[in-house]
Chains A and B, each alone.
Chain A
Amino acid sequence: QLVESGGGLVKPGGSLRLSCAASGFTFSNAWMSWVRQAPGKGLEWVGRIISKTDGGATDYAAPVKGRFTISRDDSKNTLYLQMNSLKTEDTAVYYCGDFTMGVWGQGTLVTVSS
């Protein structure tokens, strides 16, 4: 129901945009989050965009605030994560999901390395 794409290898300081395509549920009602998991580590919330009907606001975790931007296109049932000024510590599998609806993608790996 959620498929992430756009991951890959990028150099420190570079940019990458992840996409998350939704199907099988009412995407426009979802409060969508990005969550990441560094190799061998736990889950870390990256940020969230709430539904447009609830205001469409975004929130970000402190480590990514000012560098990452979450957006959504409800006409395409797609969530985005624009990542700028990437650091080696951003290396992780990135998942999209609405944990209250119980929908999660399978993740896409982002590696930041020179």
Chain B
Amino acid sequence: QAVVTQEPSLTVSPGGTVTLTCGSSTGAVTSGHYPHWLQQKPGQAPKTLIYSTNNKFSWTPARFSGSVLRGKAALTLSGAQPDDEAEYYCLLSYSGAGVVFGGGTKLTVL
């Protein structure tokens, strides 16, 4: 089974920019892995922010964007707010093998 890797933790200053990445043990991540990004705050259910690489929902703040960058999926947060402090998970889809979540990135806004 593939392993999906994320930074365990990152810190960003209020108003700053940070990029979270999501890699695959099988090789380069492409849009064909349909990368998704989910946000989870303590005690809450996860919430999908980005689907299929770079698509947003109506509830996704404009400061979040998704991409594939140098063989990894990426979530960029521009203009971080204290409310963005949370755990962020990526997931990748593998043809014939289902879905794998990354281990999550704990984002601190400080």
Contact = CB atoms under 8 A, between A and B. Distances in A.
B45 A42 contact: no
Interface stretch (A9-17, A20-28, A56-64): A56-64
A111 B89 CA distance: 24
Nearest to B49: A102
Contacts of B34: 100
Contact of B38 (A44, A99, A105, A106): A99
B100 interface: yes
B51 A43 contact: no
B104 A42 contact: yes
- Taking chain B's interface residues, is the majority helix, strand, or loop, or is none over half, making it mixed? strand
Interface in A19-38: 33, 35
B67 interface: no
Contacts, number: 57
A100 B101 CA distance: 14
A87 B84 CA distance: 36
Interface string B87-103: 10101000001111111
Interface of B: 1, 34, 36, 38, 40, 45-48, 51-52, 57, 59, 87, 89, 91, 97-104
25 contacts: A33-B99, A35-B46, A42-B101, A42-B103, A43-B40, A43-B89, A43-B101, A43-B104, A44-B101, A45-B98, A45-B100, A45-B101, A59-B97, A59-B98, A60-B98, A61-B1, A95-B45, A97-B46, A99-B51, A99-B91, A100-B34, A102-B48, A104-B45, A105-B45, A106-B45
Interface of A: 33, 35, 42-45, 47-48, 59-62, 95, 97, 99-100, 102, 104-107
